[in-house]
Amino acid sequence: MFFHIVLERNMQLHPRHFGRDLRDKLVAKLMKDVEGTCSGRHGFIVAITGIESVGKGLIRDGTGFVTFPVKYNCVVFRPFKGEILEAVVTMVNKMGFFAEAGPVQIFVSNHLIPDDMEFQSGDMPNYTTSDGSVKIQKDSEVRLKIIGTRVDATEIFCIGTIKDDFLGVISDPGATS
Amino acid sequence: MSLAAEHSSSSDDIAASLDAVLDTASDASTDPDEVIEEEEESYVGDEGYYDSDPERPKRRKVELSKGLTNLQRSLSQGEPVDLSGGSSPKKIMCPHPGVYAGMCVKCGQKVDEETGVPFGYIHKNLRLADDEVARLRDRDLKNLLRHRKLYLVLDLDHTLLNSSQLADITVEEGYLHDKRDALPDTLKSSLFRFDWMHMMTKLRPFVHTFLKEASNLLEMYIYTMGERPYALAMAKLLDPGDIYFNSRIIAQGDCTIRHQKGLDVVLGQESAVLILDDTEAVWGKHRENLILMERYHFFASSCKHFGFNCKSLSELRSDESETDGQLATVLKVLQRVHSLFFDEGSKDNLEDRDVRQVLKTIRKEVLRDCKIVFTRVFPTNFPAEHHHLWKMAEQLGATCSTELDASVTHVVSMDAGTDKSRWAVQEKKFLVHPRWIEASNYLWQKQSEENFPVTQAKSK
């Protein structure tokens, strides 16, 4: 789920950046440091939308660097257990399939794929129902439910399921509508 | 049924659980037990919502499984089904079939132990428990047998291609550095240069046809002792459309035992896997599945590495024959194994057949009806039966003996001057060099004895 929250960070700035453009340089450094990172608490920081406030700078003894506490608004993405997401399938193999929803990689094991879907190997490995009506292959869109998440420094990993009602394929890349 | 009574309580449970999960912004890694319990309650509660519409078959299946778990719970707890306190037995029962990024793939719980087999070549965070691997192998075997396919594990270096560091290219091989247009036609499509890896690669002749034909009969894996980036680059050369190997490229980092290749990371039953490799030593436990290939030495550095002092194929400006070379021969063998395995006339179940038996049978036909005596081949005082040539000849279907008699058909010797060698010439038996046995082994066919004469050894 996406959230728009206020986060705070202490930014250290080298004295060479002091001058007229101090604030802009601070904001640029903040964006470079923070956008694209993950934290366990907030999830994946997608984009900074604005700066709420920049506090008074504190000069560090001995080095000359100045620390500014910066409060900024940003859009974060954090998946939750039990959340329902739409994702695009990236890889299908006999153990299940991998799907991506933005920065999140989700693995759906074949234990959590409905029993009537069988794995078919071949040029385009896929999971198909016995009557061939529903097919999951690379670039299909699926709706899935998250049952576990793990966050590390740059990536978020999730386990998902499509074994519940209303979950499964939304659109088939090769299907005639 | 108790399900109706749970309807009202389950909606409150969901709201409460969502609140609890969203409020824990202060701590992402909430107590897994707590969250699992709530999730499981809401999970089960969701299904309880819709029992008013029994038409959908999917939901009926879900209700059935829920009924079963309820039964399990009441059996284990000895009391009527109670949602609020009943989640712990369900947790214990999850067998954690696989672990992805530290979480069980079935229940989502954190799993810290390092049990099972890591499948790093599929995804760097994936591990599977042994039971799960066995289950997957079984299922996949049934699937493949239905499509009449077996498994093939291919080695890269000296089997399908030959690579050399750019620094090791000799002066005589300098013409390989020429621009693409200046190269002879045969090399244009099979010689490739990788500046970022500082190496050059030559594909073995016939390799593209081999892969195309083999893919109709076998599901293929690449298993190399090289590093992963190298393996992926070579796979792109051999399989530009990514149809033959898909996500089945195993590199050095994926081996579970150092310097040994194993079929434990291959998701196929051992009774249906064939291996194509030039080195026997790395396949300690799986020699019976192995089809040994003759090494492909194109570059001079490769010849030198194995201690051969002759000129390499590149220096001689020639190449292995396309239609008659090792790959073509091996393809015929594979086709033969495949047709024998899927033989309609056989009475066994497909699942009970073993490809290793088929290989043994085919091997025994090569030197059938030959009786061999060795002379001046083994070191003195060496027990003859343990020598690899003796064993190789027996595997190829010949009978070996240490004594001469009328039934002997071949005398294998390194020296034409010994008693036994002279006896062979006298009795008009075949006198051959040990290379004859090895060539028959590599080419899966009894070789013509005239091509392997024995010379008189130089007298000291």
Question: How, if at all, do strands A66-77 and A43-54 pair?
Answer: antiparallel
Residue contact B58–A111, C-beta within 8 A: no
Q: Which fold has domain B148-341?
A: Rossmann fold (3.40.50)
DSSP character for B110? Answer: B
Query: What's the pLDDT band for B37 if we cut at 50, 70, 90?
Result: very low
CB B449 within 8 A of CB B432: yes
Residue contact B109–A81, C-beta within 8 A: no
What is the CATH code for A83-171? 2.40.50.140
Whole-angstrom Cα distance, residue B122 to residue B22? 33
**Predicted ipTM of the assembly:** 0.73
Window 315-354 of B: residues touching A by CB (8 A cutoff) are none
Q: Which fold has domain B371-451?
A: Rossmann fold (3.40.50)
Query: What's the pLDDT band for A99 if we cut at 50, 70, 90?
Result: very high
Query: What's the pLDDT band for A30 if we cut at 50, 70, 90?
Result: very high
B450: β partners? none
DSSP B189-257: TTEEEEGGGTEEEEEPTTHHHHHHHHHHHEEEEEE-SS-HHHHHHHHHHH-TTS-SSTT-EE-GGG-SS
Nearest to B103 among A95, A114, A148 (CB): A148
Contacts of A129 in chain B (CB under 8 A): none
DSSP B337-397: HHHHHT-TT--S-GGG--HHHHHHHHHHTTTTT-EEEEESSSPTT--GGGSHHHHHHHHTT
A131 contacts chain B (CB < 8 A): no
Dihedral sign from CA coordinates of A87, A91, A92, A94 = negative
CB A9 within 8 A of CB A37: no
Model confidence at B72: pLDDT above 60:
no
A162 contacts chain B (CB < 8 A): no
Please give the structure tokens belonging to residue A171: 């659109």
Whole-angstrom Cα distance, residue B233 to residue B36? 43
Mutate to test the interface with A, among B112, B246, B269 (most CBs of A within 10 A): B246
Dihedral (C-alpha) B15, B16, B18, B22: value to the nearest 10 degrees? 130
Mutate to test the interface with A, among B105, B152, B239 (most CBs of A within 10 A): B105
Q: Specify the higher pLDDT residue, B314 or B27.
A: B314
CB A57 within 8 A of CB A68: yes
Please, where in chain B does CATH 3.40.50.1000 lie? 148-341
Mutate to test the interface with B, among A6, A44, A92, A95 (most CBs of B within 10 A): A95
CB A72 within 8 A of CB A6: yes
Query: What's the pLDDT band for B39 if we cut at 50, 70, 90?
Result: very low
Model confidence at A168: pLDDT above 60:
yes
Contacts of B400 by beta carbon, 8 Å cutoff, 6+ apart: B371, B372, B373, B374, B384, B385, B390, B393, B394
A82 contacts chain B (CB < 8 A): yes
Where along chain A do its domains lie?
2-77, 83-171
- What share of chain B has pLDDT > 90, as a percent? 3
CB pairs under 8 A between A and B: 98
pLDDT of residue A97: 92
Map tokens 């080695």 to a residue. Answer: B155
Nearest to B108 among A115, A148, A165 (CB): A148
Please, where in chain B does CATH 3.40.50.10190 lie? 371-451
pLDDT of residue B326: 84
The correct answer on CATH 3.30.1490.120 for the domain covering A2-77 is yes
